[in-house]
Structure 1
Amino acid sequence: MLRKILTYGLAAGLISGLAMAVLTTVPHGHLPMAVEMALGYATMLVGLSTIFLAVKRHRDTTLGGVIRFWPALFLGLGISVVGGVIYALAWEVTQALHHMDYVNDYAQAMISQQKAKGASDEALAALTAEMDKMKAKYANPFYRLSMTFNEIFPVGVLVSLVSAGLLRDSRFWPARRVPAALA
């Protein structure tokens, strides 16, 4: 099972990480932040769909078409952890290769957004101080890695729960049986 976790987790992390790299470098600044975030989470779901595929394949080929909830969830969570680590590393590589200053860009966008809403000078000063604290924390690579990991891991937990819940029922999307005459 460890091999499946590593293989499918690597696939999930690479799919999500590459999509994130493209979304943050190609249209950067051209799409609204909400659209970029929605696309980002959609690509995470695509990448983490490997959890469903892994659990189904494990159920159908290794376990003879039956899997219990907890082993299915464990497999999904393992894939989520590996995928999350690969995703976080992909973010570090993307930032390094493109010399991105994401946290500064984010802070400026948040401050500009509040200015546009007509925030008071005191509110802007408080927000600026908060953003400065965030910049200091974000400079620490361990903090940055954990923040990035925490973007994708909850999505993986959700996909793992849904996959385990659906696939524990052997009648849900059963394996195809090849007729003996065709085998």
Structure 2
Amino acid sequence: MKNSILKNGIISGILVSMFMVCMTIYMKYNPTSEPSMIVGFTSMILAFSFVFIGIKQQKQANNGSISFIKAFTTGFLIALIASVMYVIVWLFIYYNFFPNFIEHYSQMMIDKAKPEDVATVTAEMNQYKEWYKSPVMIILLTFMEILPLGVLVSLLGALLFSVILKKKN
């Protein structure tokens, strides 16, 4: 089990991190272009397909049956490994290659805001700038980008493999 979780978590983490690196490079060298949230979340969903693979492998290792808790735990651990890798890669990128990211992102969000929303968006972006002064907050914010989706995919995978595709005796 541990081997399957580790292998699928690492593959998932590499995949989602590669997409993030590509999007960050694109954003840095195309300052007027807004990064696509659709591409970002699609890459996360694609990477989290390894949650399903890992749960299926675990089910096969248990003679075709798996409990909801075991399936969820397997999926969650795969998602956690991928999320940790994502956060580590982001910290490396941010501190070494794109330290002005939050200023760049804030300006982009303010520029694209509707005139009546500029004050609200500016206040929101100022809050993010404050948060980005702390490495702990950067870590927490980055986990909040990816881990909730990983938990959701883990729940779906656990439901799929332990309830919907339950082995009939």
Q: TM-score, normalised by structure 1?
A: 0.79
Cα distance in 1 between the residues matched to 2:33 and 2:49? 25
**Which residue of structure 1 aligns with residue 136 of structure 2?**
142
**Which residue of structure 2 aligns with residue 110 of structure 1?**
109
The structural deviation recorded for 1:63 is: 0.5
Structure 1: runs of 5 or more not aligned: 173-183
Cα distance in 2 between the residues matched to 1:97 and 1:91? 10
AA paired with 1:167?
F
State which drifts further: 48-57 or 124-133: 124-133
Deviations 1:115-140 (A, max 9, x none): xx223xxx645543442232121121
Count of residue correspondences? 164
Note closer, same or farther for the CA distance 1:126–1:26 as it changes in structure 2 (3 Å cut).
Answer: closer
Cα distance in 2 between the residues matched to 1:30 and 1:134? 20
Kindly indicate whether the alpha-carbon contact (under 8 Å) linking 2:4 and 2:57 is maintained by their aligned counterparts in 1: no
- Bigger-Rg structure (1/2): 1
Alignment of 1:21-32 (within 5 A): 21-26=21-26, 28-29=30-31, 31-32=33-34
Two-structure CA RMSD over aligned residues (Å): 2.2
Answering whether residue 66 of structure 2 is matched by residue 72 of structure 1, we say no
Deviations 1:50-106 (A, max 9, x none): 11001101111x101111111100111111111111111111122234334221112
Cα distance in 1 between the residues matched to 2:155 and 2:108? 35
The structural deviation recorded for 1:39 is: 0.3
Kindly indicate whether the alpha-carbon contact (under 8 Å) linking 1:77 and 1:157 is maintained by their aligned counterparts in 2: yes
Cα distance in 2 between the residues matched to 1:78 and 1:171? 24
**Which residue of structure 1 aligns with residue 94 of structure 2?**
95
Kindly indicate whether the alpha-carbon contact (under 8 Å) linking 1:59 and 1:66 is maintained by their aligned counterparts in 2: yes
Q: TM-score, normalised by structure 2?
A: 0.85
**Which residue of structure 2 aligns with residue 175 of structure 1?**
none
Secondary structure in structure 2 of the residue aligned to 1:39 = helix
Answering whether residue 132 of structure 2 is matched by residue 133 of structure 1, we say no
Deviations 1:15-41 (A, max 9, x none): 1011111112135446444xx111011
Cα distance in 1 between the residues matched to 2:92 and 2:118? 33
AA paired with 1:66?
S
Note closer, same or farther for the CA distance 1:133–1:86 as it changes in structure 2 (3 Å cut).
Answer: same
Fraction of identical pairs, as percent:
29
The structural deviation recorded for 1:7 is: 2.2
Note closer, same or farther for the CA distance 1:155–1:124 as it changes in structure 2 (3 Å cut).
Answer: closer
Kindly indicate whether the alpha-carbon contact (under 8 Å) linking 2:65 and 2:166 is maintained by their aligned counterparts in 1: yes
Cα distance in 2 between the residues matched to 1:133 and 1:139? 10
